[in-house]
Amino acid sequence: MSEKEQVTDSAIKITDLQRRLDDITRLVSDWVWETDEHLRLTYVSHRIFELLGLHPFQVEGQTFTELGAFTAWDGSNSEPRWRSPFRDVEFSTKDRGGQDRSFLISGLPVYDPNTGAFCGVRGTAEDITERRRVESDLKRSYEELEQRVDERTQELSLEIQERKKIEMALRQSEAQALQDSAAKTQVLRNVSHELRTALNVIAGFSESMQSELYGPLQNERYQEYADGIYASGKRLLDMIGGFADLTALGGGILELKEEMFDLAPLVADVVLQLSSRAEENAIEIRQDDMASLPRLYLDKNRLEQMLASVLLHAIRRASPGGCITIMAQSLEGGLAVTIENPAMVMREAEMRIALEEPFSPAQSWLYRTEVSAGLDLFMVRQLAQAMGGEFSLTSSEESGSAFTFSFPKEKIA
């Protein structure tokens, strides 16, 4: 092959290599660049047109610092050391439309192989504009979120302070209410004591007059007056006692003297107390065998008072010649005591008022002719609950009325 042919062949190969390089530089996402020893761009790939809207010939001959600026993360100038290899140095510029664009510049210095003289730099530029936009949006969102968190934190702090003020005011109001309630309770107890003392004197004197302890009453009307004074005094004593218990329950200061005892003797004593009253109306009181039942741990005197009151109610509403039954049974680990009167029927409204309203008109029948009617059903229920139990009332035309005391297993020995 002649020398001319060799030159022609080499030129063809060089042209082919140049075409191949151009094709590769068009395909890669980065744009490729090259500078001379004065750092002026001598070659820029066509990719720059897609990224900046500028033809390569428009930027060739300029330096990077003439096209834009190298920036560090803190905004300061960070121009690379051109005579040493470098990678991912951020470069900012503007496209043809004036929009900011960001690139990561990487470069490799070129030296003359014979003399070692610096000839320029070759490198690439990676477009990171979208990445920086996303980072900027994220940063702005984070700052906005942080600001909202701070604002909400301040709001919550103010809310907490306000709630603390409200809680403090409520505690002060509650303490004042308790103090006022305690004062009122003490006043009622004192008044109750004074009234009961006076009524006991009246009842004692009238009882002496009834029994003509110091001599006969010459006029029968005086005897009637004495009977009336005695009966009225006893009724007032019972009512005042009920008010005192109700006040103690409301103030949470009711005193309970709990002890261990057998139920059977207690029920027998109650029946004995009211046997004469039952005999007056020819009413039979039947008591189930309770000897095998477990012992109770309750306020014995209170329970006796409640049983006597309920039994008296049942006697007052029983038909002459009727029968009242007192039964007890273990129930789900606890104990239930029931007083049944098959002749006594109460309407739903009457039962509700009797259990929910103290000294209600619904129970006025209890006080019409009795010297003492004991506790009303409202007080019986309140006392039962204060002792850890419950009191319920059921009534129907078929089976009459049933008064039931129930106590949990914690009150059973």
What is 257-411's CATH topology?
A: Heat Shock Protein 90 (3.30.565)
* Tokens representing residue 184 in the block: 């009122």
Residue 365 has pLDDT above 50, yes or no: no
53: pLDDT confidence band, cut at 50, 70 and 90?
A: very high
pLDDT at 91 over 90: yes
Sheet bearing 31-35, strands edge to edge:
41-44, 31-35, 118-127, 100-111, 86-94, 68-70
* Extended strands (E) in 38-134: 41-44, 68-70, 86-94, 100-111, 118-127
Cβ 407 vs Cβ 303: under 8 Å: no
Examine domains 3-127 and 257-411 and report if their fold is the same. Answer: no
Q: Residues 362, 351: contact at Cβ < 8 Å? A: no
Query: Radius of gyration over alpha carbons of the chain, in Å?
Result: 53
Task: Give Cα separations from 351 to 138, 376, 395 (angstroms).
Answer: 71, 12, 8
> For 202-260, how does the pLDDT look when each residue is reduced to its tens digit (9 = 90+)?
767 677 776 776 677 666 776 676 766 766 666 666 656 665 666 666 666 677 888 99
pLDDT of residue 367: 38
Query: Domain coordinates of the chain in residue numbers?
Result: 3-127, 155-235, 257-411
| Third-level CATH fold of 3-127 | Beta-Lactamase (3.30.450)
Of the two residues 358 and 168, the one the predictor is more confident about is 168
Binned at pLDDT 50, 70 and 90, residue 358 comes out as: low
Residue among 350, 339, 352 nearest 309 (CA): 339
* In contact, 239 and 246? CB cutoff 8 Å: no
Q: Across residues 76-87, what is the average pLDDT?
A: 88
Please tell me what DSSP assigns to residue 365: G
Question: What pTM was computed for the model?
Answer: 0.47
